[in-house]
Amino acid sequence: MNGKPQPKVRCEVNRCVYWTDGNLCNAREIEVTGSQAREGRATDCATFALRGLRSMIMAAPNVDLQAAMDYMRGEEETEPNPQVTCYVDTCRYWTVGDACRADNIQISGKQSGREERTHCATFEPEE
């Protein structure tokens, strides 16, 4: 762990190569982008990769296999949870170091086939 805040990630983007049952994300880390966003729909999960053989091969280095295997064995306290890097500095949860200080984040875009249709549903504009 690198000292950054670690929100619990839930993701409904079930066509992403990293998505797994329980709306979990098997990526080691994800990036949320959306320069100058004023609403969640203007943000994207830049780590999104549409399921398929090529994307599975390309995604392999970023898959948290140990956490995924532990979770499948019933060790729920080790469920996959990626490190979040957030570049959306217009969000109230963004903090120095491109971190997210929300306790939980939700990535929306069920059935999405493109990165632009994935969004951080937790986004709230800074005040």
Q: Which residue has the higher pLDDT, 117 or 72?
A: 117
pLDDT of residue 14 exceeding 90, the answer is yes
Residue closest to 88 by CA, chosen among 77, 69, 101, 72:
101
Give the pLDDT score at 48: 95
Assess if residue 80 is contained within a domain.
yes
Does position 75 have pLDDT exceeding 90, yes or no?
no
CA 38/CA 126 separation, integer angstroms? 9
pLDDT single digits (tens) 18-65? 998 899 999 999 999 998 999 999 999 999 999 999 888 888 889 887
Q: Is residue 2 part of a domain?
A: no
**Whole-prediction pTM:** 0.86
Residue 99, domain extent: 8-120
Count of structural domains within the chain: 1
Give the residue from 45, 27, 38 showing the smallest Cα distance to 114.
45
CA 117 to chain CA centroid, nearest Å: 13
In a domain, 89, yes or no: yes
Report if residue 127 sits inside a domain.
no
pLDDT at 70: 78
Residue 32 lies in a domain: yes
Q: Report pLDDT digits (tens) over 89-107.
A: 999 999 999 999 999 999 9
